[in-house]
Chains A and B, each alone.
Chain A
Amino acid sequence: MSHVSRHPAGASGSPDAPVVAPGPTGFDAREVRSRFPLLTQPREKPLVYLDSAATSQKPQAVLDAMDRYYRTCNANIHRGVYGIAEEATALFEDARRRFARFVNASPREIVFTRNSTEALNLVARAWGGWALRAGDAILLTPMEHHSNLVPWQMLAAERGLELRFIPITGSGELDLDALPGLFADGRVKAVSFVHVSNVLGTVNPATELARIAHEHGATVILDASQSAAHMALDVKALGADFVACTAHKMLGPTGIGMLWGRREILEAMPPFLGGGEMIRTVSLTSSTWNELPWKFEAGTLAIAEAVGLGAAVTFLEGLGMEHVFAHDRALARYAMERLAEVPGVRVLGPPADRRGGVVAFTVEGVHPHDVAMVLDRDGVCVRAGHHCAQPLHDQLGIPASARASFHCYSVPEDVDALVTGLAEVRRLFA
C-alpha cells in the first residue's frame, strides 16, 4: 500500500512526507495528529480513521483531564461540602462555562444531557409536550438523523400532530422555495432541522431558516451534532431557540451531550426527567423545580465526561474553529477530487464549497458494507450503512452508502489510502 511509507506506525506522519494536497489551514494537522494517542499507537497496519462523523478520536488532553478528575477529586457534585466535592463541582461547572463561551451562550442556558439524542428528546417531550396542541404541525427535513425524526414521530402519534418536510433538491440541499407553502396555513409551530447533514455534508442555511420560521411564529430547534464539532457556533447569531450538541463528536468523551435553550423558554417549560438535583423542594406529594440549568439535570450526571468535554473545548479553541472548518472542507474537496478519479464511484451531496468534512459515496455494483469491509483489511475505517438516516437514503433511491469523514487530525494521506483501497474494492467485485 502506498500510504504505508507515509504513515509510519507510531509517528504522526513522517516530516519529509510529500504534501500532496491542501496544505495546512491555520494549523499543522500532522502535529495535531501527534496529540491523539489512538492515532499514533504502533499497530500492524497504520490506522486510517475516516469516521469522525460517527465519533471523533480523543486527544491526550481530554484523557488526562478525565483521568486526573478520577484520581484526584472524584466526588458527587452540588452535594458534599468537603474539599474534593467542592473541587469536583467547580470542575463540572467550569466545563459548562467553557462550553457556554464556546457557543456564545450563558451557562444558565446550557443543560447537560447524555448526548444529542437525549437533548432532542428533552425538547420534543418537555417543550413539545407542553407547547404543541393537536392539529399543530412540526416542520422537519428528509435529511434528519433518526434522533431528530423519531422523537417527533413519537410525539406526533401521541398528540395528533402533523409532520411536514422541507423537500431537498437533487444536490441534497433544502429547497427553501417550498417554505411559503409549508407555512401557509399557520399550523407549523416548530421547525427542527439538522445544521450539517451527517450523510450529505450539506451545511444548511440555519440562520435564514430560523429567521423565516420565527416570522411565522414557529419555535426553532437545531441539531448541531455535526456542526458544533467542526465550525464556530454562535447560538445567538444562529437565532434558534434550542441547539443540541454532543461531546463525543467534538473530541470529547461519549456519554455527555449539551442542550442550549433560550432562557425564557427553559424557564417557562416544565422539566424533563424527575429526580434528585432538578428539584428545589420536595414533599411527599409535590415538588418545586430547581433553577436553570439544574431544573433539567435529574440524577448524577456524567461528571468525568463533562470535565473531558471542557478539555475538548479548550483543545478546539486552541486550534480555532474557523481553521478546523477550513481544514475539514479542504479535505472534503480533496476527497471529492480524488474519488472522481475512481470509476464507478458516485459522491452524494452538494459541491465542496457548500459542505462540511463529510463525503458519502456509492461504488457501482458493490454494496457499501462490502466497500467498508474490503477497506478495513487495509486499516481504512469508513462507515457503511444508512448512517441513521434511512428516509434520506430512500429518497436518494439507494439502500445505503459508504462515508468518509474528517476532523482536525485527518490528513490528505488518509484520502489517498481510501482511494487506493477503492481500487482493491473494484478489483475484487468488478
Chain B
Amino acid sequence: MSDLFRDHILEHYRRPRCHGTLEAPDARVEDANPLCGDRLVMDFRFEDGRIAAVRFTGTGCSISQAAASLVCEAIEGRSIDEVKGMTRQDMLDLLGVDDLGPVRSKCAMLALKTVKAAAWGVARWDDEEEESA
C-alpha cells in the first residue's frame, strides 16, 4: 500500500490548482461518491477540440480533492480526445501511487470520472469504477 499522505498530495489538497468556477462554461459536470460524501463540480471551456480551461470546486477527503487538482492541472490545454482516452493508471501516476484498494480508489477516481464525463459529453462516466486486478 503506497503512502497516500505524501507531500505532493497534501500540497495539492491544501493549495489546489484550477480551483473555482468558470463564467458561462461550455460544460458543467457534477459527480459525487456516496460512500464518503466526496463531491466535485467541474466547469469546462472547450476551444478547437481542446480543454481551454477547467475549474473545480468540491468537498471531500484529501485524496478526492487532490486528485481533482492534479487532473485539472494535467488536462488544461490537452485535446478532448486525449482526455477521453485517460485511464485509471494515468490517475494513479498523477497521484504517484502504485495502487489503491477498492474503497480509496473511489475517492481517487472521482475526478477522472468527472473529466471523462465532460470529454465524452455525458452526464456521468462510470467506467473507472472497476478495481485493479
* Chain A residues with a Cβ under 8 A of chain B: 367-370, 373-374, 377, 384-386, 393, 399-400, 428-429
Contacts and interface: CB of A to CB of B under 8 A. Distances in A.
Contacts of B4: 373
Given A399-B59, A428-B10, A368 B5 contact: no
B104 A385 contact: no
* List of 10 A-B pairs having minimum Cβ-Cβ separation, nearest first: A369-B61, A399-B37, A367-B61, A369-B36, A385-B36, A370-B61, A370-B62, A400-B37, A428-B5, A400-B36
B62 A367 contact: yes
B60 interface: yes
Contacts of B3: 377
A377 B3 CA distance: 8
Given A385-B36, A385-B37, A428-B10, A373 B59 contact: no
B32 to A, nearest CB: 10
Nearest to A384: B36
B107 interface: yes
Contacts of B60: 367, 369, 399
Interface in B37-75: 37-38, 59-63
A384 B63 CA distance: 14
B24 interface: no
A367 B36 CA distance: 9
B35 interface: yes
- The A interface is mostly helix, strand or loop, or mixed, namely helix
B104 A368 contact: no
A386 B10 contact: no
Contacts of B107: 369
Nearest to B62: A370
Residue from the set A373, A384, A393 with the largest chain B CB neighbour count within 10 Å: A373
Given A428-B5, A428-B10, A373 B37 contact: no
A367 B10 CA distance: 13
Contacts of B38: 369
Contacts of B10: 428-429
A399 B65 CA distance: 15
Contacts of A400: 36-37
12 contacts: A367-B59, A367-B60, A369-B36, A377-B5, A384-B36, A385-B35, A386-B36, A393-B37, A400-B37, A428-B10, A429-B10, A429-B62
A428 B66 CA distance: 15
A384 B36 CA distance: 7
Contacts of A399: 37, 59-60
A400 B61 CA distance: 10
A385 B36 CA distance: 5
A373 B36 contact: no
Contacts of B36: 367-369, 384-386, 400
Given A373-B5, A385-B36, 18 more contacts: A367-B59, A367-B60, A368-B61, A369-B38, A369-B61, A369-B107, A373-B4, A373-B63, A373-B104, A377-B5, A384-B36, A386-B36, A386-B37, A399-B37, A399-B60, A400-B36, A400-B37, A429-B10
A330 to B, nearest CB: 30
A400 B59 CA distance: 11
Contacts of A367: 36, 59-62
Residue from the set B3, B35, B60, B61 with the largest chain A CB neighbour count within 10 Å: B61
B110 to A, nearest CB: 12
A88 to B, nearest CB: 35
Contacts of B37: 385-386, 393, 399-400
A377 B4 CA distance: 10
A340 B80 CA distance: 51
Contacts of A374: 5
A424 to B, nearest CB: 9
Contacts of B5: 373-374, 377, 428
Interface in B100-129: 104, 107
A377 B2 CA distance: 10
Contacts of A429: 10, 62
A371 to B, nearest CB: 9
Nearest to A428: B5
A386 B104 CA distance: 16
A149 B117 CA distance: 32
A41 to B, nearest CB: 18
B67 to A, nearest CB: 13
B58 to A, nearest CB: 11
Nearest to B104: A373
A399 B58 CA distance: 12
Nearest to A399: B37
A368 B107 CA distance: 13
A384 B106 CA distance: 14
Nearest to A371: B61
